[in-house]
Amino acid sequence: MKRKLLIESTESLLSSVKNKTVVLVGDFCLDVYYHISSADLEPSLETGLMVRRVHKLTTSLGGGGNVFANLCALGTGTVIPVGVIGPDMFGIQIQQLMKSMNPSSPDIAVQGAEWVTPAYMKPILDGKEQERIDTGLRNAIREETVDKLLSDLRSAMKTADVVMINQQLADSIYTDRFIEGINALAHEYPQIPFIVDARTMQSRFHGMWHKLNTHEAAAEIGVHLDPMRSELPASELYDIMRRYYEASGDPVIISRGEYGAVAYDGSMFYSAEGLSLLTELDTVGAGDSFFSGFALALASGLSAETALHIGNAVAGVTVQKLNQTGTCSPDELRAIVATCDYTYNSDVQTEKISVPFEAEAITPFHLLASRPAVKYAVFDHDGTISVLRQGWEGIMEECMVDAVSGGGKCSSYELDKIRDYCRKFIVKSTGIQTISQMVMLVDIVRRWGIVPESEILTAKQYKDIYNDALLKYIDHRLRSVETGALSPEETTIEGSISLLRSLAQAGVKIYLASGTDIEDVKHEATILGYADCFTGGIFGSVGDVKNDPKRHVLRKILAEEEVNMDQLVIFGDGPVEMREARENGAIAFGVMSDEKKRSGWNANKRERLIHAGADILVPDFKEHEKITDFLLNR
C-alpha cells in the first residue's frame, strides 16, 4: 500500500473516530503492581513473617479493559463496555479508570454474588516481577446478569459503528446463551462489523471477523504446528486460512508479528507488511493494540487492507513501550505511519539465475527485464563500492559495549549479554546514519542502567568516540591509496569502478548517498578516483537525524528531475537504500558483497536485503558489462 494513501487514510480515521461508537464485549480485568524494595523487608512483630513494604502502587486495565484503553487513547468518541465486575475495590477501580479515559462511557454491570472482579496482583521486587496473586478465576455468571448483558448489548446496537468481542477467561460471561445472543445480533445487523478475539472459544462465534494468530488458526482446524516454528510460508498459511473459512463461513485475520498481517474473506486475501523496528520490543498487549486499530478502521469505512496496515501501526507504537501495556495516541499513530520501515518479501520464492549475469532474483526477473532503460542511479558507498571501512562493525561494537558497560563495570556474564545485544543491534541498524545509531545508543545505555545518568554522553559525543576509533583503524588504508601502495581497485568491490564509469559514459545521472559524514565520503571518493562519476552529487550525513542522505537524494531527484521511477536504480548493501527503492518504485539492486574478499557472496547480508525490499541480489560487479547492458536495455 502506498504510504501517501495510508497517511491519508489515517487522517480520515482520526478525524472521524471521535464521532464513532464502539461496543466492547469483554472480560474486564485489573492489573495491580506493588513496587517493593528488598532494602525495606523486615519481620513482623506480630507473626515473625517477612513484611514487604510497598513504596508505590499502580493499577492499569487488563483483558478487555486494555482494549478499552487502546480505543480511548486513539480518540474514540464513545466506548460502551459490556461485561461484569464484582462489588469490590477492584471493580470500583476499573470503573474509575474507565471514567477517567472516557467520561461518557456507561457503567459495567455489577453482579453482587458469586463474582469477584478478575485482578492480577503483581509484586515487583527491585524491578523484577515475583509470584502473583489472582482473583476472579472461579466466577459463575447468573441468568439475570446474562439477561442484563443481552439487553445492554441490544440497546447499544442502535448507535454502534463496530462491535468487538474479547474473551480472556474460561469462567467468564460467555455462556452458551450469551454467545447465541451475540451471534443472533451479528446476523441481525450485517451492516455493522463484528470482530472477535477469543482465547479459548473462537469457533463458537459466527457471522463476524475472527482474529487469531497462525498457531491458533491451525489448532482450530485440527492442524498442530511445532510451537517453536513461529511462522509459516505463505502457501501453508493461506491453505490454513481457506480451511478455516470453509469450516466457519467467516472471514479470518491472522496477525504475524514482524511479518505483518493477512486477512481472507472467502474470495480474496488482503495483506499488510510488518514493521521493521530497531528498538527493544515488549509485545505484551500488542494483540489488543492491533485489534483496536483494525476495528476502528473498519468502523470508519476503510478497507480490510487499510485496516490491517493501521492495526499493525498501532501495535508498532505500543511494542516499543517497555515494561508496560502501552497505548497509541493519534500523534504517535501519525508519526509511525509517516516514517516506519516495512519488512518486505516475507513470503516470496527467489530464483537463482546465471543469464544475463549471476544473480538471485526476488522480483520475477522477466518483470525487471521489461522495465525501461535507466536514466538515474543512486549508489550507497561503504560495502557497495568502497571497502576502506571494512570491519567498521567491530569498531562500533567495541565502542557500544564500552559505553553500555561503563568501561566494563559489570560481571563477565552481563558483559557477554551486552556484547550480544550490541552485535544484534548493529546488524539491524546497518545502513542508517551513524548519528541515528548513536541517538539509539544513548537510550540503550540508559535502559541497561549501569552508567549513572550524570555520566551518560550525548549522541554526538558517542559518535565522535566511534569516528575517532574508526578513522584510526582505516588511516593506514587511506595513506596506502594516497601513496600508491594500494590501487583503488584493491580497496573497492570488484567491478564497481568499471560499472560507475560505464553508466556515466552512457549518460546516466549518478548520485552517491552514504550514512557516513559528508566530508569523509567526498574525501574517500576523491582519493579513490571516482568522485567525477557522480554528476548528480555526493551526499552524506550532516549530523541531523531528520536529514537522512539517502532519503534526501530521492527527494532531490523527485523535486528537480522529471523522473519516471521505473528509470531509477538504487544500489546498496544495506536495508535503508533498499527500502527507499521499494517504496518509491525504483529497482532495488542489493549487493551481497563479501567486503574482505571484495567479491563473492556474503550470506550474512541476504536476509536483511531481501526483507528490506531488494528486487535482485548480486555478489559484486565483476560482470559489470552485462549489468550495464541489462540496465540500459542493450
For residue 124, what pLDDT is reported? Answer: 87
Give CA–CA dist 255/45, Å, rounded.
53
3-343: what fold?
Answer: UDP-N-acetylmuramoyl-L-alanine:D-glutamate ligase (3.40.1190)
Give the pLDDT confidence of 553-612 residue by residue, as tens digits.
988 888 888 889 999 999 999 999 999 999 999 999 999 999 999 999 999 999 999 999
Tell me which amino acid residue 478 is. L
Q: How far is CA 619 from CA 40, 387, 496, 503, 538, in A?
A: 61, 14, 11, 19, 24
**Residues 149, 73: contact at Cβ < 8 Å?**
no
Instruction: List the beta strands (DSSP E) in 302-434.
Output: 341-343, 351-353, 359-361, 376-379
pLDDT digits (tens, 9 = 90+) for 474-485: 999 999 999 999
pLDDT at res. 116: 96
What pLDDT sits at residue 265?
Answer: 96
The pTM of this model reads 0.88
The continuous run of DSSP H or E covering 75 comes out as none
Q: Helix, strand or coil for residue 424?
A: helix
CB atoms within 10 A of CB 393: 15
Please, how many CA atoms are within 13 Å of residue 537, restricted to the half-sphere of its CB?
11
CA–CA distance from 442 to each of 400, 403, 422, 517 (Å)?
Answer: 10, 9, 12, 19
Please, which residues bridge with residue 341 across strands?
276
Specify the pLDDT at position 326: 84
Intervals of the chain under pLDDT 50:
none
Cβ atoms < 10 Å from Cβ of 588: 30
549-553 long-range CB contacts below 8 Å, 24 or more apart? 549/433, 549/513, 549/514, 549/515, 549/518, 550/378, 550/380, 550/513, 550/515, 550/576, 550/577, 550/580, 551/580, 552/513, 553/378, 553/511, 553/513
The Cα-based distances of 363 to 78, 189, 322, 610 in angstroms read: 45, 43, 37, 10
Concatenate the DSSP letters of all residues of 575-616 into one string. Answer: HHHHHHHHHHT-EEEEE-B-TTTTSSB-GGGHHHHHHTT-SE
Cα 281 from chain centre: 9
Where do the structural domains in the chain lie, given as residue ranges? 3-343, 351-387+492-631, 392-483
Q: What is the pLDDT of residue 189?
A: 98
Residues 492 and 384: their CA atoms lie apart, in Å, by: 8
Return the amino acid letter for 319: V
- Residues in Cβ contact with 525 at an 8 Å cutoff, skipping those fewer than 6 apart: 381, 386, 512, 531, 534, 538
Task: Report which secondary-structure segment, H or E, holds 63.
Answer: strand 54-63
- Cα(47)–Cα(94) distance, integer angstroms: 33
CATH of 351-387+492-631, picked from 3.30.390.50, 1.10.10.410, 3.40.50.1000, 3.60.15.10, is 3.40.50.1000
Q: Would you give the distance in Å from CA 45 to the centre of its chain?
A: 52
Cell 498457531, located at residue: 215
Distance separating alpha carbons of residues 247 and 203, to the nearest angstrom:
9
